[in-house]
Amino acid sequence: MKENAFTTRVFPRPPLLGEPPKKGFIWILEVLIALLVYYAASIPISVMTSPFIAVYTIKNFDPRAVMPDIEKFDLNGIAEYVKNLYEAVKTLLENIPAWITLITLFSFAFITLAVIIYRVKIRKGTLYSLGVKKAGAVKNYAAGLLIGFILFSAAVGMGLLTKGLEFTGFAGFSISNTVYLFLFLLGYFVQGMAEEMLCRGLLMTSISRRHSVLCAVIVNSVFFALLHIVNPGISLLAFINLFLFGVFASLVMIKTDNIWMVSAIHTVWNFTQGNVFGIKVSGSAYVPSVMKVVSSGSKFINGGDFGLEGGICVTIVLLIGIVIFALIKPKEKELSAFDFSSNLSKTSSDNTK
């Protein structure tokens, strides 16, 4: 994809993306590398989470409950068995204990670690090339928390106004619930940062070194959406919304020249969705929340089993966010973050201070 005046204005090349494209790898190879990094991190994640999920599944799954009530196991019986099995697994996932979900969220730290090891230790890059920049980190993260909360709250507001969602009350206060809320905020901090480091910090910046920024944005956004393709309740509109979130997140990182704001948006987006309003996060299980907002009416509005992220309200909010950040003027270019030569290490280090 070649850059022109329009794409350069909307998707400019900020300092962290480095100099204009150099000849080299095609983008598909960068995608394969990102997948390898992801699956390398998945090994310790599985070791950490699988035993708990296995025990929970064995304890709560009854094979007899999914067997069809028929004398002859024919095609109709197989179809009924598959349907019953799907419903049983869906019920298990919807009722998975909050503490298992927390373990899963914190285990995402292995993804961030794998990204840093690959970029810094193997490729001899800098943390700044991943968007990790000390200057303005706190300010950008705080702004991201506010932006993410406003965006998702706006989507919920649209859902309530259009009768796709219904507010059923507040959750009762308890010490355990409060502790869970705090732990989930920390967990989503880890998970949000991990997904941004992989998709935007690693993949987008790697592709932009060899191709246009627009190409990098599109590819990493599709990659991000595909990471959620097996989530419960996934639909075409949910996939489109995941792609749009990728585009929005890419623009935020491009225009702010750091990964902090977009990581905060990602974190508080999930936390607000699951722990403030009590809505499924990308089809995941329900978690302890401040409020209870349930689906009612059209799945086109509320997203059905995937949660509000699978509905048109989130589509509208993300499109508005994309337009707003597309119009923001980016920071002026200061240095090439992708110059991996040794004489850059001190310069990049100074820039992160």
Least confident of 67-71, 127-131, 221-225, 314-318: 67-71
The enclosing H or E element of 66 equals: helix 63-66
- 124 inside domain: yes
Percentage of residues in the chain having pLDDT higher than 90: 65
Which is more confidently placed, 353 or 227? Answer: 227
- 8 inside domain: no
**In the prediction, which pLDDT does 23 show?**
64
**In the prediction, which pLDDT does 4 show?**
64
Q: How confident is the model at residue 70 (pLDDT cuts 50, 70, 90)?
A: low
Instruction: Give 273-305 pLDDT, tens digit per residue.
Output: 999 999 999 888 778 899 999 999 899 999 998
Least confident of 19-23, 119-123, 277-281: 19-23
Q: How confident is the model at residue 11 (pLDDT cuts 50, 70, 90)?
A: confident
Q: Is the predicted pLDDT of residue 76 greater than 80, yes or no?
A: no
Is the four-CA dihedral 165, 170, 172, 174 of positive or negative sign? positive
Residues 6+ apart with CB under 8 A from 31: 203, 219, 223
**In the prediction, which pLDDT does 324 show?**
95
Instruction: Give 236-261 pLDDT, tens digit per residue.
Output: 999 999 999 999 999 999 999 999 99
Total-model pTM:
0.86
Residues 6+ apart with CB under 8 A from 157: none
Amino acid at 70: I
Looking at residues 206-211, what average pLDDT do you find?
88
- 152 inside domain: yes
Buried b (16+ CB within 10 A) or exposed e, 74-90: eeeeeebeeeeeeebee
Nearest partner of 322 among 268, 271, 270, 246, judged by Cα: 246
- 2 inside domain: no
* Residue spans of alpha helices (H) in 227-276: 236-256, 260-271
The enclosing H or E element of 167 equals: strand 165-170
Helix 260-271 to helix 236-256 angle (10° resolution) is 150
Q: Is the predicted pLDDT of residue 66 greater than 60, yes or no?
A: yes
- 103 inside domain: yes
Looking at residues 94-101, what average pLDDT do you find?
87
Q: Is the predicted pLDDT of residue 317 greater than 50, yes or no?
A: yes
**In the prediction, which pLDDT does 146 show?**
98
Looking at residues 311-325, what average pLDDT do you find?
97
φ, ψ of residue 293 to 5 degrees: the values are -120, 120
Least confident of 1-10, 98-107, 116-125, 317-326: 1-10
Amino acid at 57: T
Beta pairing class for 291-295 and 165-170: antiparallel
319-326 contact pairs (CB < 8 A, 24+): 319/244, 321/151, 321/248, 322/244, 322/247, 322/248, 322/251, 325/248, 325/251, 325/252, 325/255, 326/10, 326/251
- 77 inside domain: no
The enclosing H or E element of 89 equals: helix 75-94
Q: Which domain does 300 fall in, by range?
A: 24-60+97-351
Least confident of 13-17, 27-31, 271-275: 13-17
- 15 inside domain: no
Number of domains in the chain: 1
Which residue has tokens 């901090």? 189
In angstroms, the CA 268 to CA 291 distance is 15
Three-state DSSP at 57 gives helix
Looking at residues 3-24, what average pLDDT do you find?
70
Instruction: Round the average pLDDT of the chain to a whole number and report it.
Output: 87
- 198 inside domain: yes
In angstroms, the CA 348 to CA 342 distance is 10
Taking the alpha carbons at both ends of the chain, their separation in whole angstroms is: 35
Is the four-CA dihedral 202, 203, 204, 209 of positive or negative sign? positive
Residues comprising the chain, all counted:
353
Looking at residues 114-136, what average pLDDT do you find?
94
223-228 contact pairs (CB < 8 A, 24+): 223/31, 223/34, 223/199, 224/195, 224/199, 224/249, 227/38, 227/195, 227/199, 228/282, 228/283
Three-state DSSP at 166 gives strand
